[in-house]
């Protein structure tokens, strides 16, 4: 029985790989980062070592029961891998969906526990929010988070120090599509992406898998990337010790 299961698994993997071809966007390469207190994203820090025309797909605010599955389907259809920055409370509410991200080959970090304006909180409150989000991540995945994205990209000295001490990478961005307006259409989001790409030429793209219009627009957004000749680079981190 075990040999039959292995054969079936191999067939499934081969069939999945066969579906990825020149008609898909695909994932061109993977960068594996160290588990360290580094800071990336040219919006606030050092740019990742990307060539012109290379982009990293990232999504914030999930997992969302309504929208994240649509995002995952769009990515799977194009054989593209992404990094998801998850809210701690959402991980606790949707642990199976959070784990599905990893099963499907994506990577994940945290995006605070409740998405607050951290600068308006006391030092203790900020550290407690970080503690809770890290605990939710570890409960779901069994390991410590490798990366953190600040809510609203509003960094604070308190958490920058804590993240550096605990070897958690800070992931900022290079470009976004401002995809949090409920009235946004697919055409509007595609135009914003085109403008951001034309301006930056490479880098970490911020999107939101918890946002309905983004989830609906993602097949079109990925087509924009392919049509413009962009290559997807996937971010991963070294295994936890």
**For residue range 223-240, what is the model confidence (pLDDT) as tens digits?**
999 999 999 999 999 998
CA distance 173 to 151: 12
Neighbours of 66 (CB within 10 A): 9
CATH number at residue 75: 3.20.20.370
Close Cβ partners of 94 (under 8 Å, ≥ 6 residues apart): 62, 63, 64, 65, 68
Domain-embedded: residue 71:
yes
Structural contact between residues 168 and 136, judged by C-beta atoms closer than 8 angstroms: no
Domain-embedded: residue 213:
yes
Domain-embedded: residue 19:
no
Buried b (16+ CB within 10 A) or exposed e, 23-51: eebebeeeeebebebbebbbbeeeebebe
CA distance 118 to 127: 10
Domain-embedded: residue 8:
no
Domain-embedded: residue 13:
no
CA distance 132 to 138: 10
Q: pLDDT at residue 4 above 90?
A: no
The 10s digit of each residue's pLDDT in 60-76 is: 999 999 999 999 999 99
Domain-embedded: residue 11:
no
For the annotated catalytic residues, the residue numbers are 60, 208
The 10s digit of each residue's pLDDT in 95-133 is: 999 999 999 999 999 999 999 999 999 999 999 999 999
Domain-embedded: residue 18:
no
Provide the residue range defining the domain that includes 231: 25-237
Alpha helix ranges (H) inside 19-122: 68-77, 88-93, 95-103
pLDDT of residue 23: 94
pLDDT-derived band at 211 (thresholds 50, 70, 90) equals very high
Domain-embedded: residue 3:
no
Can you give the pTM of this predicted structure?
0.92
The mean of the pLDDT values for the chain is 93
What is the residue-wise DSSP string for 191-207? HHHHHHHHHHSSEEEEE
Q: pLDDT at residue 209 above 70?
A: yes
Domain count, the chain: 1
CA distance 39 to 37: 7
Close Cβ partners of 226 (under 8 Å, ≥ 6 residues apart): 24, 25, 78
Q: What is the 3-state secondary structure (H, E, C) of 49-68?
A: CCCCCEEEEEEECCCCCCCH
């Amino acid at each position: 029985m075990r040999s039959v299961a292995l054969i079936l698994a191999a067939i499934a993997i081969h069939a999945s790989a066969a579906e990825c071809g020149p008609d898909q966007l695909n994932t061109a390469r993977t960068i594996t980062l160290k588990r360290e207190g580094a800071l990336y994203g040219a919006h606030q820090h050092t740019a990742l070592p990307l060539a012109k025309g290379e982009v990293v797909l990232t999504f914030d605010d999930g997992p969302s029961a309504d929208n994240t599955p649509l995002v995952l389907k769009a990515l799977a259809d194009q054989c593209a891998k992404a990094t998801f920055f998850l809210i701690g409370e959402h991980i606790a509410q949707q642990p199976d969906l959070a784990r599905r991200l990893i099963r499907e080959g994506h990577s994940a970090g945290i995006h605070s526990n409740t998405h607050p304006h951290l600068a308006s909180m006391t030092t203790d409150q900020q550290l407690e929010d970080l503690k809770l989000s890290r605990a939710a991540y570890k409960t779901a995945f069994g390991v410590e988070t490798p990366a953190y994205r600040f809510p609203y990209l509003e960094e604070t000295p308190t958490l920058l120090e804590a993240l550096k001490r605990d070897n958690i990478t800070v992931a900022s961005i290079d470009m976004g599509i401002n995809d949090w307006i409920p009235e946004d259409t697919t055409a509007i989001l595609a135009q914003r992406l085109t403008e951001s790409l034309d301006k930056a030429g490479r880098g970490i793209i911020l999107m939101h898998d918890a946002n309905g219009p983004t989830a609906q627009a993602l097949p079109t957004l990925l087509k924009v990337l392919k049509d413009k000749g962009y290559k997807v680079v996937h971010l991963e981190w070294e295994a936890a010790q």
